[in-house]
Amino acid sequence: MSELSPQPRGAARRRFLQTLGVAGVAPAASAAQAPAKLKVGLVGCGGRGSHLARRAKALGDGGYPVEVTAVADIYQPRLERLSVALGAKAYPTLEAMLRDAAPDGVIIATPDRLHVHHALAAVRAGKDVYCEKPLTHWAQFDLLKQLVAEARQRKTVFQVGAQWVSDPIWTQAAQEIQKGAIGKVLHAQTGYFRRGDSGERGMPVDDPKAQPGRGLDWDAFQADAPRREFAVSRFFQWRMYLDYSGGPITDLYPHPLTQILKALGPPRMPSRVVAVGGRYLYNGERDVPDTSDLLIEYPDGPSVAVLGTVGNSTGMDAVIRGSEGTLTFDQSFGGIVLRSMPGAKGANRVLNSQRFEDNHLRDWLECIRTRQAPVGDLELGYAVQVPLIMAMRSLLERKVAVWDAEREEIRMV
């Protein structure tokens, strides 16, 4: 575990802290300090990490001042493959990379359970962070709070990798709602519908004979998860297991929920969350649910429903209902329609969706320079992750999750 949450040590740390005059606080760089070309390191060289690192490299090749200089992974074959493909230095752990490569920012694309450990290590080393969704595993609420506190203190530029929110229409939707375009917001619905087990059982198994040991650090993979015997499926197809994943609620719902909460304005916490669902279609070895519906209640409204299954791909429009009008993300053309209620003031309007490929990564890189908050910053990520953790607990414990705003705690009743 020490590997996962290192503190900067020794004389260098003391010197650094003295210059700040604040014990234990290593802030990320200031705008004036931003280098001409940003150095980015990646931890987690699997499917998503490889994609993000290649996109960052493509930005650099296209003239944007960024370079992927370092990659880290506890599984040697993937590490080597990506390191060679990108011409980036390879490290067996994030900690080794932070010590040696001195990146400006770190992209975290490890399995869910590792995100918060890697994010804390990067934040403590004074690095800016792009962390894949979900912000944490569903059983890591205390670590989530710790991460939020430390990143706030260090003013880390933190982007949560829920990139759907980088379509500018969600920021425009927030502006419209703020201006009163649909009146008082009462109700919202969104969801995620997919057909197939491809994201879980379908995850690629690079080597069916893989064994823990040199080149595959099973202990580092498990982090603070319950200790289990190594199994090829647990390592390569970790999304099938509650020890490492939450299924659709934490894997898929962060995308639509981040969009809806962006539109609803400044991030805030729910009052109650209830979730139902289960393994209606995919049983056997997989233990994460395949179908789950969430109701999230905010104090004085709105009520937000997040629905979905991975057994059927018939989707639904995301809708925000207000006292004066309705905002609909219309799937048929991929844009937002604003409609007034009969008799209400206000015009009907359309907001056209825009391409968002690369926007999210680029937004983070820009914000590293300007020290502004990215579009999917940690405050929004926290407001997304708390109801998702409450939903997981509600579904698994068959109870209602209540948010204790004073203590910032979850109570199950």
Ligand X SMILES: NC(=O)c1ccc[n+]([C@@H]2O[C@H](COP(=O)([O-])OP(=O)(O)OC[C@H]3O[C@@H](n4cnc5c(N)ncnc54)[C@H](O)[C@@H]3O)[C@@H](O)[C@H]2O)c1
CB of 222 to ligand X, least distance (A): 9
- Number of Cβ within 10 Å of residue 150's Cβ equals 17
Closest to ligand X by CB, 29 vs 45, is 45
Closest to ligand X by CB, 135 vs 383, is 135
- Between CA 137 and CA 118 the distance in angstroms is 12
CB of 101 to ligand X, least distance (A): 14
Tokens 């099938």 appear where? 240
Closest to ligand X by CB, 170 vs 298, is 170
- Between CA 393 and CA 141 the distance in angstroms is 11
Closest to ligand X by CB, 162 vs 295, is 162
Closest to ligand X by CB, 236 vs 403, is 236
> Amino acid identity, residue 244?
Y
CB-count exposure of residue 2 (10 Å: 0-12, 13-18, 19+): exposed
Tokens 């499917």 appear where? 47
Provide the CB-side half-sphere exposure for 161 (13 A, CA).
24
CB-count exposure of residue 371 (10 Å: 0-12, 13-18, 19+): middle
Nearest to 128 by CA among 358, 384, 370: 370
Closest to ligand X by CB, 238 vs 403, is 238
- Using CB under 6 A as the criterion, which residues of the chain lie in contact with ligand X when the complex forms? 43-49, 72-75, 78, 94, 109-112, 114, 132-133, 161, 163, 220-221, 251
- Between CA 385 and CA 257 the distance in angstroms is 9
Tokens 């490299």 appear where? 57
